[in-house]
Structure 1
Amino acid sequence: MQGCGGVGQLHDVGGTGNGESGGLAFVPGAPRVHLRGKDRQAGLCGRQEGSLVGRGFGVVRRMVFLPKNDWQEEDLPQRKGDSDSYDEFGDLDAKEEEEKNKPKTALDLEPWEGGGGDERYHYSHPLFGDMQTPEELNEELEATGLEKHRLQLHPDEAFGSIFRYEGALVDTVEIHEKAWNMVAEEFNMTKPDRDDIIRAMAMPTEKAIQRVMYWTQDWGDTKRIAFRKAEAYYQAWQEHDHKMRDGTEEWLERLQKANIPMCLITSMDTRSINSTVEKAGIDRYFGSFVTSEDDLETREQMYLQAALRLHRPPQKCVCFDSDPEGISAAHDVSAKVVSVLGTHKAWELSTADLTVSSLDELTTYNVRRLFAAVGEGRPEEKMELEPEAKPDRWNSGPW
């Protein structure tokens, strides 16, 4: 019992009937205190060397500690779930044992336990719990009932738009370049060129320091430089004017008129991104954000979290990004992706569902066409006739 610090099994042997105040004989080595019924309600109110005293309901009872092995076989079958928790009051009864041994489902697994699911997709949600695959989220968020009927009347509202701030809305290469140059000057390193900076944007800072900048291979120095680079990036972010790409506000206005919900994802903290979009005048378009404070590690996780906040299945979401990593991540979670030219060449973005040089080239009809085949299942394979083989038995033999 936590109240007195004792360990062992507590048995009620009743009062002596001759006016004794009663007591508890403490047996060292007994594994656990076990109280049931009134004894558990009475509780333990003190402990002396080798004895405990139990009081409750105005009655003082004498009880004896016994080792676990002396009572387990006889008493355990009689216990029918009186204990609130087997961790605190004793071993499992039949019902608790059955609950413990019940096979786990995907929703019961701890993050990435037993190889269940891919760590790129893992996320936690208070309503749906831990889901391991985008397919599960597609099923949970699929519209049903009246909502499904309403979306048939307004088909555009069934979709969701996910924008990645760094790339799709604002070109952040200049911010990264300024931050890297600040760090290079402080540590007396060679300044990187633009191509190296673009390559570094697609990987963790520590990896970029060692494999792109080639500044050091010492892990301690790498972590120190990476920390300083994060500080420099935050400073450069605050000083940047954050000019939106051409056609950004026009496209956001069209989506808002079509009642298509929008979510913004970013690697910055919530306070910084709120201040930035407010200064840019686009804060009214986004009803939800996914930021660094959500503690997500991969782009796939960020897209899935955004789909949750939009209350749309990932397969009904279109992601606006500007790099190959974003294209792969969107397809991995069954979403569509529109890639914006700028940082990367067109051939590097060829796997996107749609590539545009400016967002104002888009219409809501373009978005609807991206999802034309969603829900139709796997296309039927075409049958091809094999050419008839010519018999060659006439070409062989003694004749």
Structure 2
Amino acid sequence: MIQTVIFDMDGVIVDTEPVHHYAYNQHFKQLGITITPEMYASFTGNSTKNIFERLKAEFNLPQDVETLVQTKRDLFNDAFDSKEDLYLLDGVEDLIKDLHHNGMQLVLASSSATVTINRIFNRFNLDQYFAHKVSGEDFPRSKPHPAIFEHAAFLAQTPVDNCIVIEDSTNGVLAAKAAGIYCVGYDSFHSKMQDYSKADKVIKHFNELSFELIKNIKNQ
């Protein structure tokens, strides 16, 4: 029986991708580099630190990674604070409340920085539902490496066989499966150029999930 649901955040709980896209592209212009749509899509599920480690090597950027990360973070925060039309994804709040009400433990495992996670959680009052929040910035390697999900299960004190992950990215799905965790791929119109072929189940709307369905999802 499933005891813990591990949620990704960007593209699963809230669509901050337009804000990230704006911040990254502003920064790329400042740096004078061109990123193809294919390369940008491959960033999905990676931490900002890992992305800029890759870009520093790829484009021989003179700035140190910490400076690059902080510049992008400042651009994101400025855009985030001024963006009024930012909402939780359709149906996800009802699912979170349903799971929490029925005693399911919820954990967040996001590649976003802790400061960004807290911004989202404060804006939408989500801390009341989640037992733990895990940031990808605390790990040397990003998804598809399984470390973030392994740590989420460890914090939840739940065997991986009794967890599920809800993810919207290729890298996230691969990370969940590498951790030995059942993965639900959320294929929404917000998620571009992602591969859900390795997911155990694929949904297009959160109304396809509920506490009753999830608790025995591996038996279906």
| TM-score (structure 2 length as normaliser) | 0.80
Aligned residues: 208
What amino acid maps onto 1:310 in structure 2? A
- Residue aligning to 1:337: 183
- Residue aligning to 1:307: 153
Distance 2:205 2:129 in 1: 18
- Residue aligning to 1:364: 211
User: What does residue range 210-359 of structure 1 map to in structure 2 within 5 Å?
Assistant: 216=59, 218=60, 221=61, 224=63, 226-238=65-77, 239-240=79-80, 241=83, 242-292=86-136, 294-295=138-139, 297-299=141-143, 300-342=146-188, 343-344=191-192, 348-359=195-206
Give, in angstroms, the shift of residue 293 of structure 1.
Answer: 5.9
Give, in angstroms, the shift of residue 255 of structure 1.
Answer: 0.4
What amino acid maps onto 1:305 in structure 2? H
Distance 1:180 1:261 in 2: 34
Can you list the C-alpha shifts for 1:346-380, whole angstroms capped at 9, x where unaligned?
Answer: 7x21221111112222122322343228xxxxxxx
Larger Rg: 1
Structure 1 unaligned residues grouped into runs of 5+: 1-154, 374-399
| CA pair 189-165 structure 1, distance change in 2 beyond 3 A | same
Question: What is the DSSP-based 3-state SS (H/G/I as helix, E as strand, rest coil) of the residue aligned with 1:234?
Answer: helix
Alpha carbons 1:200, 1:208 under 8 Å: kept: no
Distance 2:40 2:65 in 1: 14
Distance 1:320 1:160 in 2: 11
Candidates 11, 23, 40, aligned match of 1:197: 40
Give, in angstroms, the shift of residue 160 of structure 1.
Answer: 0.5
What amino acid maps onto 2:42 in structure 1? R
Distance 2:66 2:55 in 1: 11
What amino acid maps onto 2:100 in structure 1? Q
Distance 2:39 2:167 in 1: 20
Structure 2 unaligned residues grouped into runs of 5+: none
Distance 2:140 2:28 in 1: 28
What amino acid maps onto 1:198 in structure 2? A
| CA pair 325-267 structure 1, distance change in 2 beyond 3 A | closer
Instruction: Tell which has more relative contact order, 1 or 2 (C-alpha 8 A, sep 6+).
Output: 2
Alpha carbons 2:106, 2:131 under 8 Å: kept: yes
Distance 2:106 2:94 in 1: 14
Question: What is the DSSP-based 3-state SS (H/G/I as helix, E as strand, rest coil) of the residue aligned with 2:12?
Answer: helix
Distance 2:64 2:137 in 1: 22
TM-align CA RMSD:
2.7
Give, in angstroms, the shift of residue 225 of structure 1.
Answer: 7.1
Alpha carbons 2:27, 2:72 under 8 Å: kept: no
Alpha carbons 1:296, 1:302 under 8 Å: kept: no
What amino acid maps onto 1:257 in structure 2? H
- Residue aligning to 1:171: 15
| TM-score (structure 1 length as normaliser) | 0.47
- How much identity, in percent, do the aligned residues show? 18
